[in-house]
Structure 1
Amino acid sequence: MKLAEALALRADSRRRIEELRARIIDSAIYQEGTEPAEDPTALLAEADQLFDQLESLIRRINRTNSVTDLGADGTMTDALARRDALRMRHSLLIAAAEVAAGRGNFRQLRSELRYLSALPVAPLRARADQVAREIRELDGRIQQANWDVELDE
C-alpha cells in the first residue's frame, strides 16, 4: 500500500469514528417504554475495533514518515514539521498585513485620534507570498513522495 492510500484510509477511519460517536451519543439514552434506535454497546465495540485499526495505521504512517528521505527537505517528518511552521507563519503574516492595512474591526470618528500602521503592508504581503510559494513547493514534494513511497509494515 502506498503512503497516500494509507493517509486516505486514516482520514476515512477518523470520519467513521466521528459518525459512530454521534450514533453512540444519540443511542446512549432513551425514554422509558421505548428502545434506542441502535445498540450503543455494539456501536462502542465497533468503535473500539476501529480505534485499534487506526492506531496501527498511524504507527505505520509515522514509521514510514520517519525513514522516508526527501533529500534537501530531510525526512518526511522534517518536511511535515516545516510545512506546519510555514502555514502558521503565513497565517500570521496575512493577519498582520490585514490589520496594518486598516481592515481591523475598528471605526474611527473625526473626534478620535487616528490609527496609524506600525507595520509596512507591502513588505508583509510580499513575505506572505514568498512563504505561500514555499508551502506550495514543499507540499508538492510531500504529495509526490506520498504516491511514491510504500507504507512501512
Structure 2
Amino acid sequence: MRLAEALALRADASRRAEQLRSRITGSARFQEGETPAEDAMSLLTEVGGVLEELESLIRRINRTNAATPVGGGTLTDALARRDVLRLRHSILTAAADAAASDGQRGYRQLRSELTIIPALPVAEVRHQADDVARQVREVDTLIQRINWEVDLLD
C-alpha cells in the first residue's frame, strides 16, 4: 500500500470515529419506557475496533515519514517545514490586512479626526506572503509526489 492510500484510510478512520462518538453520546441515555435509537454498548465495541485500526495506521505512517529521505532530511522534516510555512503565510497575511485596515489609512473627514497610519509596509508584507505561499506550494507538491511513490512501512 502506498503512503497516500494510508493517509486516506487514516482520514476515513478519524471521520468514522467521530461519527461513532456522536452516535454513542446520542444513545447513551434514554427515557424510561422508550427504546434507544442504537445500542450504545455495541457502538462502543465498534469504535474500539476503528480506534485500533487508526492507531495502527498512525504508527505506520509516522514510521514511514521518519524513514523516507527528502532532500537533506526526512519526510517528517518536510511536513514540519510545510506546517511552519503555512503558519508564516497566515501571520503575514493577517499583518498585511491589519496594516491596510480596509482602505481607511491616512484619510479623515474632519480635521479633528486622528489619522490612522500603517505601522508596516503593506505591499512589502504582501510580497513576502506571496513568496511564502509559493514555498508552501512547492513543499506541498513534493510531499504529495512522495506520498504516491513511497510504500507504507510495517
TM-score by length of 1: 0.94
* Cα separation, 1, equivalents of 2:99 and 2:14: 39
Kindly report structure 1 stretches of 4+ aligned residues shifted beyond 2 Å: 108-112
What CA deviation, in whole Å up to 9, does each residue of 1:75-98 have, x standing for no partner? 000000000000000000000000
Residue in 2 aligned with 1:34? 34
TM-score by length of 2: 0.93
Residue in 1 aligned with 2:92? 93
AA paired with 1:20?
L
Residue in 2 aligned with 1:43? 43
* Cα separation, 1, equivalents of 2:16 and 2:113: 54
Query: How many residues are matched?
Result: 150
CA positional deviation for 1:102: 1.3
Change (3 A) 1:102 1:28: same
* Cα separation, 2, equivalents of 1:60 and 1:47: 20
* Cα separation, 2, equivalents of 1:102 and 1:32: 58
* Cα separation, 2, equivalents of 1:103 and 1:64: 46
CA positional deviation for 1:109: 6.7
Residue in 1 aligned with 2:125? 124
Residue in 2 aligned with 1:77? 76
Does residue 133 (structure 1) correspond to residue 109 (structure 2)? The answer is no
Change (3 A) 1:143 1:33: same
Please identify, of 95-104 and 74-83, the stretch whose mean Cα deviation from structure 2 is larger. 95-104
| Seq. identity, % | 60
Structure 1: gaps of 5 or more residues = none
Change (3 A) 1:109 1:10: farther
Residue in 2 aligned with 1:112? 113
Note the aligned Cα RMSD (angstroms): 1.5
* Cα separation, 2, equivalents of 1:103 and 1:96: 12
